[in-house]
Amino acid sequence: MGFIIKKDQWINLAIVAATLWFIWFAQTHLDEYTVRILNNIAIFIILAVSYNLINGVTGQFSLEPNGFVAIGAYVAALLLLDADAKEYQYDIESPYPWVLALQANFVWALFFAGTFSALLALALSFPVFRVRGDYLAIVTLGFGFIIRILAINNPEITNGSLGLNDIPEFSNLYWTGGVALLAVIAILNIVDSKFGRAMKAIRDDEDAAIAMGVNTFKIKTMAFCTSAFLEGVGGGLLAALLTSISPDLFTFFLTFQLLIIIVLGGLGSTTGAIIGTVLVMGGSEWMRFLDEPMNIFGIVETPAMPGMRMVVFSIILIFVMLFAREGIMGKRELKDLFKKKRGES
């Protein structure tokens, strides 16, 4: 009976088909500016759903994305640049021979970007998950700084603060959108599996989860490494989209944006993370006016205030946490909404 498709699965297939059609339509019909924004949204969807897995689903507060995105971007960039291009742009120190020798096609570059991030996440898991308490947050926050320090102080590998330029522009909507679709499907399947149930159990009551025989260290580590893998891949896609990267690109602001996205969408909901990405990325473009000089009713002329958007972002975050902790979706997914409508929940 394996070939009979249930009603829910028809809906899922329809959504996947519609997404694929939209990716094709956008890439071939829409103008360059829109495609650029859509590319950004697709990459941020990858980052947001994977960040949500550790923060929202497993309930372990982490501030890691900027570190792992940076790692992924650097690994992918080093693999995509050919030896001549590297030799040409390393101005501070000449690169190590093995750096010159690194070379792979785009698929392998993304794979290694993810794998390298996941291995580092595995290494971080041992100090932070063996102890109870919220050390993950502070360790990952520090990790982001360390990555920057390492990138600046090892110009033989990373070209220091100058960063890497002329990275081949492989990313287009087929890649970013396709990977985003795969990431969402993968995350939804993980959340629905026994591992996902264990993650939610840890979030809701860690003692009860331990009493039920859940190996909390293993489950937390799995969630963290999965997040890191997808964030590394996202970083690789970002590097191949922007074509130039530098240590200052991956600051804490990136993590903060993602935090707003998943909090606004509803911690623990993958659907919410996607909605949050669209809202925050769109809103971010729209709120650009805040950073520019303003003329309020023709009376007061305010000077340009770069950074005003970030102040607004942080106020939104605090506000959501205090007054609407569930965000837009709470912990529900799209399919739960359908169920509610049919009165089955």
Partner 1 sequence: MDFLTFMQQMVNGFSLGSMYALIAIGYTMVYGVLRLINFAHGDIMMVGAFLGYFGIAVLDLPFAAAALLAVVGSATLGMLTDKIAYKPLRNAPKISLLITAIGISFFLENAFNVFFGGVPRAFPVPDYMSHILNLGGLVFSVSSLLVPIVTLILLGGILWVLFKTKYGMAIRALAFDVNTVNLMGIDANRIIMIVFGMGSALAAVGGVFWALNYPTVEPMMGVLIGLKAFAAAVVGGIGSVTGAVLGGFIIGFTEVVVIAFMPELGGYKDAFAFVFLILVLLFKPTGILGYDFEKSRF
Residues binding partner 1 (CB under 8 A): 55, 59, 61, 63, 126-128, 130-135, 137-139, 141-143, 145-146, 149, 152-153, 252, 256, 259, 263, 267, 305-308, 310-311, 313-315, 317-318, 321-322, 325
Residue 186 Cα distances to 4, 46, 171, 182, angstroms: 22, 11, 21, 6
CB of 4 to partner 1, least distance (A): 41
Q: Give the nearer residue to partner 1 in terms of CB position, either 85 or 310.
A: 310
**Nearer CB in complex with partner 1: 133/213:** 133
Cα distance between residue 168 and residue 175, in whole Å? 14
Nearer to partner 1, 134 or 192 (CB): 134
Residue 178 CB, nearest approach to partner 1 (Å): 31
Rg (CA), the chain: 21
- Nearer of residues 176 and 270 to partner 1, judged by Cβ: 270
Q: Which of 44, 43, 45, 76 is nearest to 244 (CA)?
A: 76
Question: In the complex, what is the shortest distance from the CB of residue 299 to partner 1, in angstroms, rounded to a whole number?
Answer: 21
Q: Which residues contact 137 (CB under 8 A, 6 or more apart)?
A: 61, 62, 63
CB of 130 to partner 1, least distance (A): 7
SS3 label, residue 164: strand
Q: How far is the CB of 311 from partner 1 (least distance, A)?
A: 5
Least Å from the CB of residue 126 to partner 1 = 7
Q: Do 293 and 303 meet the contact criterion of CB atoms below 8 Å apart?
A: yes
Instruction: Output 253 or 338, the one with its CB closest to partner 1.
Output: 253
Inter-axis angle of helices 32-52 and 252-265, nearest 10: 80
Residue (106 or 256) nearer to partner 1, CB = 256
For the chain, first and last CA: distance in Å? 27
Which of 40, 24, 55 shows the shortest CA–CA distance to 234?
40
